[in-house]
Every structure is written in structure tokens, then in C-alpha cells.
Amino acid sequence: MGYLIKAVSSSKNFRAFAVECKEVVETVRKLQGLSPVASAALGRALAGVALLSGDLKIGKVLLQINGGGPLGEILAEGNWEGYLRGTVRNPEVYLKPENKKLPVGKAVGKKGYISVVKDLGLKEVYQSSTQLVSGEIAEDLAYYLTVSEQIPSAVSLGVLVDTDGSILAAGGFLIQKLPEASEEEVQNLEEKIKKLPYITQLLSQGYTPEKILAEIFEDIRILEKRPLTYQCACNLERVKGMLIALGKKELEDILKEGKSLEVICNFCREIYLIDIKTIEDLLNFIKKR
């Protein structure tokens, strides 16, 4: 099981989040048969959404990345309890490493958007997006946070994939400037972050989230530690709700085929068998509305 930490610098001028989520990424890789570059891209998105979820007291946050590259749309969701799930449209896309690195930016593409949807269980959900900068995800997320949420942020995300495709390391950190931080403090911090080894290198050397933040800050106070697990929120009721949302015509067409329906969850590959009687009931429900 991985975990997330939330922390604040002793000067209270920066806040920081860090995650280790190797097991989460390995779980999704096995569930969805992800190629190495798909593991790296979705793994970074999952680490990113885990960092964003660090602030939630309730509800969930969804990260949507659509850069027009061969992987197609990437979705990653995290909630306040540390449950993560994610999916990528084309999990089997294979791209050769370039300079010994998986070409995530190329696989994701950069002609498109990164969107964040926050659902805090209120009437309205909060949604905002910015254009992709590189498709490498960490840079895109930092740009989104700095521009759209107007909190100057540094983000680092990394997934290390073994030659057999299994996940050796996954995680990342997010540092955000608080209003009291001076220009000088920001510059010092930027220098420190620049001098850090790659995040995958730190994680594969066994650096914990606490130890990673200690590399950046001389003195930091951990406010919270939260376990992270891959868990899907799908269930039969939600599948029925989705079928209702398809509408009358679609359900009538399904009935005409006269066969029960197999619905597979994109996130966890759970199979839901919907028999004819259930489809008839859903259709009657729509007609009565």
C-alpha cells in the first residue's frame, strides 16, 4: 500500500504534498494490461491526482488529460479516503524508450487540455482546465495549478517501469507557495528542486515521501499521512444509472437484440451482466418519468 503526506514548511511559507504509489500503479497495470508507456502516463496521472486529493476533507477530484496522442484520453480519480482509480483509452500503445526514458509526452500528446473536476458533494462541481504544455503531465499539472488556480506550484511525478513491464517505483511531490513567501525564498526553493535527482531515482533508492520532502526543506512539519489504495467505486446501481442516461431509444434498441447485456467497468474490469428483465424495468422507469 502506498501513502500520501501533507506538510507545511516550518516558516509556514510553503505547503507540500508527497506520494508513494508503486502498488497502486502495479495494480492498475495488471488489471488493464498497460504497456510500459501507458503505465508511465497513467501512473503519473494517478500520482498527480493523489497529490491533488491531499487537500480534500470530503468528496473526490478527477484529472482528465486529452492531448491527442496515441494513448487517447487519460482519467485519474482520487478521493478524500485515499482511494484511487484511473484508466487510459488505448492501454496497449507501445512506444520505444528514447534516451532510456519512456516517451510519455509523445504518447500523451500536447494538443489538448488538462482538466480538473472537484466534486465536494455539494450541488455544483468545480471544473477548470488549461492547455497542455508538454504532455509530460507534471509540467502540465504545475501550469494548471499556477494559472488556473493561481497558486504558484512545482510538481514532480515519476514512474519507473522494469524491463518485464512491472512497476519498480511510482510517486511524486507538489510544492505550493503560500502568500507570505518572499521572492528570495521562492528562488532558493527553485534552486533546490532543480538540483534534485530525478524523482524516479529517489523513489527507486527507497526514498520515502517524508525523506523526499526533507531533501527540499530543512525543516518541515508533517500534518497528515493517508494510505493510498486502488479501489473502484462502480456498482450495479451506478451501471443502471448509466443505462438510464443512455435514454429510451438506446434501451429499446438493446431490447430488440433480445440478448442480455455485458457492461465492463473501464476502471476495474468488473463485468456486470444486465438481463432482459432489468433492461425492461429501466425502460419502464424512463417512460414513467
Q: Which is nearer to Zn ion, 186 or 234 (CB)?
A: 234
31 near Zn ion (CB under 5 A): no
With contact defined as beta carbons under 8 Å apart, do 88 and 31 qualify?
no
Site for Zn ion in 231-250 (CB under 5 A): 232, 234
267 near Zn ion (CB under 5 A): yes
CA nearest to 83, candidates 24, 141, 168, 17: 24
Q: Which is nearer to Zn ion, 144 or 267 (CB)?
A: 267
Query: 277 phi and psi, to 5 degrees?
Result: -55, -45
Other beta carbons within 10 angstroms of residue 238's beta carbon come to 12
From the list 114, 141, 161, 265, which residue makes contact with Zn ion (rule: CB under 5 A)? 265
Shortest CB 31 distance to Zn ion, Å: 9
263 near Zn ion (CB under 5 A): no
Other beta carbons within 10 angstroms of residue 136's beta carbon come to 20
With contact defined as beta carbons under 8 Å apart, do 117 and 61 qualify?
yes
Shortest CB 152 distance to Zn ion, Å: 36
Shortest CB 69 distance to Zn ion, Å: 25
230 near Zn ion (CB under 5 A): no
Shortest CB 237 distance to Zn ion, Å: 13
Shortest CB 119 distance to Zn ion, Å: 17
Only one of the segments 7-15, 55-63, 126-134, 225-233 lies at the binding site for Zn ion (rule: CB under 5 A); that segment is 225-233
Q: Which is nearer to Zn ion, 183 or 245 (CB)?
A: 245
Q: Please identify which residue in the block is written with the cell numbers 534516451.
A: 99
Only one of the segments 39-47, 147-155, 179-187, 262-270 lies at the binding site for Zn ion (rule: CB under 5 A); that segment is 262-270
Only one of the segments 22-30, 131-139, 241-249, 261-269 lies at the binding site for Zn ion (rule: CB under 5 A); that segment is 261-269
> For residues 101 and 105, what is the distance between their CA atoms, to the nearest angstrom?
11
Only one of the segments 173-181, 201-209, 229-237, 276-284 lies at the binding site for Zn ion (rule: CB under 5 A); that segment is 229-237
Shortest CB 269 distance to Zn ion, Å: 7
Only one of the segments 58-66, 103-111, 146-154, 269-277 lies at the binding site for Zn ion (rule: CB under 5 A); that segment is 269-277
Site for Zn ion in 160-199 (CB under 5 A): none
- Enumerate residues 6+ apart whose C-beta is below 8 A from 158: 44, 47, 169, 170, 171, 172, 198, 199, 200, 203
268 near Zn ion (CB under 5 A): yes
- Enumerate residues 6+ apart whose C-beta is below 8 A from 5: 17, 18, 19, 54, 209, 210, 213, 222, 224, 225, 226
CA nearest to 55, candidates 143, 146, 118, 125: 118
Shortest CB 234 distance to Zn ion, Å: 3
Query: 18 phi and psi, to 5 degrees?
Result: -145, 145
With contact defined as beta carbons under 8 Å apart, do 115 and 126 qualify?
no
Size of site (CB under 5 A) for Zn ion: 6
With contact defined as beta carbons under 8 Å apart, do 136 and 109 qualify?
no
The three grid cell numbers given for residue 86, joined into one nine-digit string: 484511473
Chain residues binding Zn ion by CB under 5 A are 232, 234, 265, 267-268, 270
